[in-house]
Chains A and B, each alone.
Chain A
Amino acid sequence: MNLDSMQEILAAAKREGKFFWEIVLETDMQNRGVTRGQSLSKMAEAWHAMREASEVYTGDRRSVSGLVGGQGKLMREYAAGNPIGGEFTAQVIAEALSMGESNACMRRIVAAPTAGACGVMPAVLIPLYWRDNVPEERMLEALFTASGIGAVIAYRACISGAAGGCQAEIGSASAMAAGALVYLRGGTPEQMCHAVAMALKNLLGLVCDPVAGLVEVPCVKRNVIGAVNAIAAADMALAGIESRIPVDEVIDSMGEVGRRLPVEFRETALGGLAATPTGKAVKKRLAGDEKKQRTLTIKDARWKLEKPEQHR
């Protein structure tokens, strides 16, 4: 079936006596013409890549601009002490930072749904996996659940900062994570939908304003709010709190807000934090560095191919 409506996937699942994640898995099998085993093992690859990224993180690397690096390590150390929100929340924050930082520092990550928002899903899943000893199959089912949610958002709204601002990236990741958490804690499909709706509602309107156009500031720390918000939304849903606006309508509104967001707030680095005096200064400094680097490489090339005049 088409993954274009949470309500319809839920109805199909009810009708066929299946879980939400099974419908998503079967859709993938059909779309790509693969077996159940192949689909499951591809998801396992994504899960293992997330875990590996978390395990190999050291905090020693710095990003190209030097703006990002070491924050996850500081938070990991702090989490072992006496953090305000308890150890689990601190671990979630540390994981979100580590992953976002690894992405900025050219390490291997899993885009979920984008590279800039790659920290949200592993930030909620990995600490829970260790704390509750969740079986591996359950984790994969949670990832299929999240993928289905992400697919619906991508279809009805958008998942790129350029199209819809940060709400489309971190907001979508947060909604996916909230849904996965409700599934893992044995919530009902309705509770899962409420969690998705609440997570997305909370981040509606969030702008994409990366300093110097890089996936560094504020992207790395925005992964933290996506993860913590997912936990809050999942806990609310499991407590029996409902979203007054149905999930598909919330997703549609995210798309509408995204389309009407001024272009300055859609990854162009022309507004928000990117347009602050400090943000502009960073951009200027990097432009200088780039120029130096480029002159160097061109001087080193002592050969020429035909001039590509006809392509200009």
Chain B
Amino acid sequence: MIDIFDIMGPIMVGPSSSHTAGAVRIGRMARTLLGEEPAKALLHLHGSFAETGVGHGTDKALIAGLLGMAPDDLDIPQSLEIAAQRGLKFSFDQMDLRDAHPNSVLMELAGTSDRRLVMQACSTGGGRILVTKLDGVEVGFTGDYHTLIVQNMDNQGNLSDVTNALALARVNVANMSMNRSSKGGSVMMIIETDDPVPGYIVELLEKQPGILQVIYYRREC
């Protein structure tokens, strides 16, 4: 179903919904998933992002997103200077990412207290995005839903911990996927929900044995 505000919108800083607005959203998503102020960022641009990225302001847009700006923030054109002021070190290069969408970026991030995140995402058009890899594990979520990301050890029981907790809070699950890097390795659960996930559920899950990390992304309208 087409959202009419994808037709009359988004309200955004130009010049391109895929190369600029989508890139801001990718940066913003990475910032949220990192969970703290990013201090260092290595950005590897692939395909059309690499080819026409600078002309479309994709570099500025990605950094703007990492700084927490929204796609309609008028400071996006100055984001590289603002990053320098705020102590975010960054560098860009080009990288051929295997089987990736033409508008893709691989980001390696370190936060101010040295939290790390490696995220690959693509801009799929009209400002929409898709996160395709998180810390080496294949995923697929868009940020169109509230999204709970649970990293756990590859053993029994954690899936039901999560679904039970969500049922307890009467949160309806829209989509769900589970992927692992290797057998016995770490598992990444992606749960997209219709209702926002309460903070106490996130805290509860973090305390479960076997669960390594819980990240929550609250949908932006």
Contacts and interface: CB of A to CB of B under 8 A. Distances in A.
B11 interface: yes
A311 B119 CA distance: 10
B15 A154 contact: no
Interface majority SS (helix, strand, loop, mixed), chain A: helix
Given A301-B90, A308-B108, A110 B13 contact: no
Contacts of A212: 52, 55
Interface in A123-174: 143-144, 146-148, 150-151, 154-155, 159-160, 162
Contacts of B57: 64, 106
B16 interface: yes
Given A298-B93, A305-B42, A24 B116 contact: no
A28 interface: yes
Contacts, number: 171
A147 B7 contact: yes
Q: How large is the interface on A (under 10, 10 to 19, 20 to 34, 35 or more residues)?
A: 35 or more
A140 to B, nearest CB: 10
A60 interface: no
Contacts of B15: 63, 103-106, 115-116, 214-216
B167 interface: no
B40 A303 contact: yes
A216 B55 CA distance: 10
Interface string A191-217: 000000000000000000000111110
B157 to A, nearest CB: 28
Contacts of B55: 64-65, 212-214, 286, 290
A108 B12 contact: yes
B3 interface: yes
Interface stretch (B28-36, B70-78, B172-180): B70-78
Contacts of B77: 106
Interface string A49-79: 1000000000000011100000000000000
B93 A24 contact: no
A21 to B, nearest CB: 11
B168 interface: no
A22 to B, nearest CB: 13
Nearest to A65: B55
Contacts of B60: 106
A107 B116 contact: no
B90 A111 contact: no
Contacts of A289: 54
A152 to B, nearest CB: 9
A107 B76 CA distance: 9
Contact of A103 (B6, B14, B89): B14
B20 interface: yes
Closest A-B pairs by Cβ, 7 of them: A103-B14, A150-B7, A301-B91, A147-B4, A213-B52, A215-B15, A106-B77
Interface of A: 2-3, 24, 27-28, 31-32, 42-43, 45-46, 49, 63-65, 102-116, 118, 121, 143-144, 146-148, 150-151, 154-155, 159-160, 162, 176, 212-216, 269, 286, 289-290, 293-294, 297-298, 300-301, 303-306, 308, 310-312
9 contacts: A27-B4, A28-B3, A64-B55, A106-B76, A144-B4, A214-B52, A294-B54, A300-B91, A306-B108
